[in-house]
Structure 1
Amino acid sequence: MKILVTDDISQTGLEVFEELDDVEVSVQTSLSPAELLEAIADADALVVRSQTNVTADVIAAGRRLKVIGRAGVGVDNIDLEAATKRGVLVINAPDGNTIAAAEHTFAMMISLARHIPAANRDLLSGKWNRKRWVGVELRGKTLAILGMGRIGTEVAKRAKVFGMQVLGYDPFLTQERADSLGVVKSTLENAIAEADFITVHTPLTKETHHLIDAARFQTVKPGVRIINCARGGIIDERALCAALQEGVVAGAAFDVFESEPLDADHPLRRMENVILTPHLGASTIEAQENVAIQVAHQIVRVLKDEPFEHAVNLPSLSQKQKERLTPYLSLAEKLGVFAAQLAQGAPSTITVTYTGDAAIPDGGYLTRTVLKGLFGFRYRDEVNYVNALRFAEEAGLRVQEVRESRGRVYTNEISLSFTTENGTHHLSGTLYHESGPRIVELDGYPIDMPSEGILLFTRHTDKPGMIGRIGTYLGDAQVNIAGMQVGRRESGGEAIMLLSIDRSLPDDVIKQIAGVDGISMVRSIEL
């Protein structure tokens, strides 16, 4: 067998491949696209970090390719759809750099509080300005952590040791988990307004892009300090520069940027109260070894046809299982993604009901897939088919499976019932042979919509003109409606509407619709 390694990874990780008999490990870094196509032609496995772009053409050229390993978390540089279509597994190492990233965040926070980099530069230039670099203590200060996943949780643990009060914001943070961590569960608005320090630990998504923008900088506590060691783009850099110049923000420490490498003339480079590092969050000897070792062990297991972990696209299934379950895996994940956007608050319980062919025991793969969609919407590449169960456990989410031989309406059906502090939602889907996965029930109302694309969901009072007013707002925003489903139980009572639309809705349009008299709920859902 041949294992092709095209990015620099730890030698300790490469040594793991010695467990395989008759294996050639070929390390070829800095390949051109043409050279990569040639090198992968006879490879059984490909190991990359973030530099190699694994396109559909690369995957197609790997005629013997069985597995792609990403020594790290993010898989943005790998065409997952192309890999899945060709039956190539993609695995990552989601746990290896957690401590490194948390420690780097804390190092940035302490350096920011005590002006360490600036004082160091001053001293090296021959000056001695003790009075100029008076800092603040962390003890007694309020830290807002936006994103309470693995890294955010580790930051919270360290902050508590330093005597800080921690406000935690995360759509999946339950009160029970917050209490166990000693964290005050908070809304985004309250966390930003009350914090002395703010650190972000979310993936970069449509929902988190410019999570802290110019408008939110108007609500922060004067003198707040901000840290971003997660993803560039979560904080609006232009708005931050303005807030720094105005003195609203006392300082910022950034390890990641909207465009990397950071432009030489970027205004952040010229600010004295800013600390910048070149994306070093995972750059420790231990973290690089951990991710290399972790991904190498899983590749060995795949090539030995043994059980493995951290599959990003498909779990370990027999060919017969794949043929039966693959359509349901797609439906299950889409239902999980839908539920994540429908929920108001963190789910505390979820019941997954399978009927018909979907009810055949499958070792829990479909339920894992539902959870992968549910948590993956928020945490992206950190969640895979294996660790999704652990995410549920850590979030305090109680998961139950129910299997029934016959459905109420459809022969083969997957249904979700999940409860948050704000109520319970129901969601069902089925497979139509001619049109694939469909959403067929929403909160007790029968509907029939494809489980893909961009949807607008409203719950409203059933009265004349309601649909027209919503349609007018969409028309004014140049948004086409491709399909519509409405449901009601009685005239003049509560009704729902689900629209399939051609593009994402701007936030201001969603706010306009939410402000219509009689609208009780609006959700923009992207599948």
Structure 2
Amino acid sequence: MRHQVLLIDPLYHVGGERILREQVDVTLLEKPTHEAVLEAAKGAHGICGRYPNRIDADVIDAAEDLLVICSSGRGTDAIDIEAATRRGVTVVNNPGFGKVPVSEHALFMMMSLSRHGSEHDAMTRSGRGWQDRLGAANTIHDLEGATLGLVGFGQIGTEMARKCAGAFSMRVIAYDPYVAPETAAAVGVTLLPTLEEVLSQADYVSVHAELNDETHHMFNDAAFGAMQPHACLINTARGKIVEQAALHRALTAGTIRAAALDVFEVEPVGPDNPLCALENIILSPHVGGLTAGFAEASAMSVAHQMLTVFRGKYPENIRNPDAWERTKQRAMRLLAGQ
């Protein structure tokens, strides 16, 4: 018997899908409706949905033979882990591959905000020169010695701190209630007890938190009000951490100077999104982690972990260990032809 795998949109690299097809039967859906996913899930032993495709309780219940759900990257907020655990379905993710590319993208955004990259490109193309930057209108400031505030201090946040402190001698502060102060101090970062304290001191705020009930719309009117007027927001984490309407108000009112987003509440972003009409924001289409190295490594990890579960072996990056024994029992019965 060959296992059945459902891919909801392709993996980030063809190599992962190639490995899967050598050993299992693969069904690939591209930009499917929810109804199409529900139908294709029937009989699937493994499902991988590329973000932001949702694998909710309805999909999990439709897949009666399901053993494992893989995220395409690190984030699992598009997977109903509670429903999977109830069904004895293992959920795995692929952490570690994004820390370098995502931190580099956040750094690119911070440098572009600091140096007004988009604005200066437009000035040059329109025939304007450096004379227009003289006087009180000059808001270009050095990154050297500035304060970076990190919201979320996991692998990506830690890498961002290392880059900014090492390259620009920035003072780095952070808010993460799940990290011990000594862990942050070991890499030269000061962990502050509240979000407001970080926001009130930072020149640049870079978001690296996971999306959950605690962080949903964490950046609202009150949060922007706590930031300094010259401060800038960078979000390369999850779009729904930032309340888009509140950000639009903060940018138009001058509550903060500028922002840079790689993620949005609704993706993809359409031209009718009001943020697209603003000049003090940099936008990119959720590509922060999509370097060639990340794409190949994450796709290979999906294939490896899915096949590991099919063999009844414990996967490397399980998110709901309480489900494992039930998954293992069913996997072993399938291998025995029962």
Whether TM exceeds 0.5 here: the answer is yes
Q: Is 1:12 aligned to residue 18 of structure 2? A: no
In structure 1, the partner of 2:301 is: 294
Number of residue pairs aligned between Structure 1 and Structure 2: 319
In structure 1, the partner of 2:172 is: 166
Q: 1 CA distance for matches of 2:328 and 2:37? A: 33
Q: 2 CA distance for matches of 1:186 and 1:113? A: 24
Do the aligned partners of 1:307 and 1:316 also contact (CA within 8 Å) in 2? Answer: no
Question: Structure 1 residue 253: deviation in Å?
Answer: 1.0
Q: Deviations over 1:37-74 (max 9, x none)?
A: 44333433222212543344433443433222221223
Q: 2 CA distance for matches of 1:32 and 1:97? A: 28
Q: 2 CA distance for matches of 1:53 and 1:175? A: 35
- Of 271, 276, 290 in structure 1, the residue corresponding to residue 278 of structure 2 is 271
Q: 2 CA distance for matches of 1:178 and 1:210? A: 25
Do the aligned partners of 1:95 and 1:291 also contact (CA within 8 Å) in 2? Answer: no
- Partner of 1:26, secondary structure, is strand
Question: Higher mean Cα deviation, 241-250 or 224-233?
Answer: 241-250
Letter in 1 for 2:6: L
1:293–1:250 Cα change, 3 Å: same
- Partner of 1:110, secondary structure, is helix
Do the aligned partners of 1:97 and 1:290 also contact (CA within 8 Å) in 2? Answer: no
Q: Is 1:251 aligned to residue 258 of structure 2? A: yes
Q: 1 CA distance for matches of 2:220 and 2:52? A: 30
TM-score by length of 2: 0.83
Q: Which runs of 4+ in 1 moved over 4 A?
A: 315-322
In structure 2, the partner of 1:446 is: none
Q: Deviations over 1:19-38 (max 9, x none)?
A: 74xx3333332344444344
In structure 2, the partner of 1:62 is: 63
In structure 2, the partner of 1:521 is: none
1:110–1:45 Cα change, 3 Å: same
- Partner of 1:287, secondary structure, is helix
Q: 2 CA distance for matches of 1:310 and 1:320? A: 15
- Of 134, 142, 153 in structure 2, the residue corresponding to residue 137 of structure 1 is 142
Runs of 5+ unmatched residues, structure 2: 330-338
Q: 2 CA distance for matches of 1:321 and 1:194? A: 50
Q: Which structure has greater helix proportion?
A: 2
Letter in 1 for 2:20: F
- Partner of 1:39, secondary structure, is helix
Q: Is 1:183 aligned to residue 189 of structure 2? A: yes
Runs of 5+ unmatched residues, structure 1: 323-527
Do the aligned partners of 1:49 and 1:71 also contact (CA within 8 Å) in 2? Answer: yes
* Residues 473-512 of structure 1 mapped to structure 2, 5 A cutoff: none
- Partner of 1:249, secondary structure, is coil
Q: 1 CA distance for matches of 2:327 and 2:25? A: 31
Do the aligned partners of 1:7 and 1:51 also contact (CA within 8 Å) in 2? Answer: no
Q: 2 CA distance for matches of 1:13 and 1:111? A: 34
Letter in 2 for 1:148: F
1:24–1:239 Cα change, 3 Å: closer
- Highest relative contact order (Cα 8 Å, sep 6+), 1 or 2? 2
Letter in 1 for 2:40: A
- Partner of 1:145, secondary structure, is strand
- Partner of 2:233, secondary structure, is strand
Considering only CA atoms, is the larger Rg found in Structure 1 or Structure 2? Answer: 1
Q: 2 CA distance for matches of 1:56 and 1:243? A: 37
Q: Deviations over 1:471-500 (max 9, x none)?
A: xxxxxxxxxxxxxxxxxxxxxxxxxxxxxx
1:53–1:173 Cα change, 3 Å: closer
Q: What percent identity do the matched residue pairs reach?
A: 36
Question: Structure 1 residue 132: deviation in Å?
Answer: 3.6
- Partner of 2:205, secondary structure, is strand
Q: Considering only aligned residues, what root-mean-square deviation do their CA atoms show, in Å?
A: 2.7
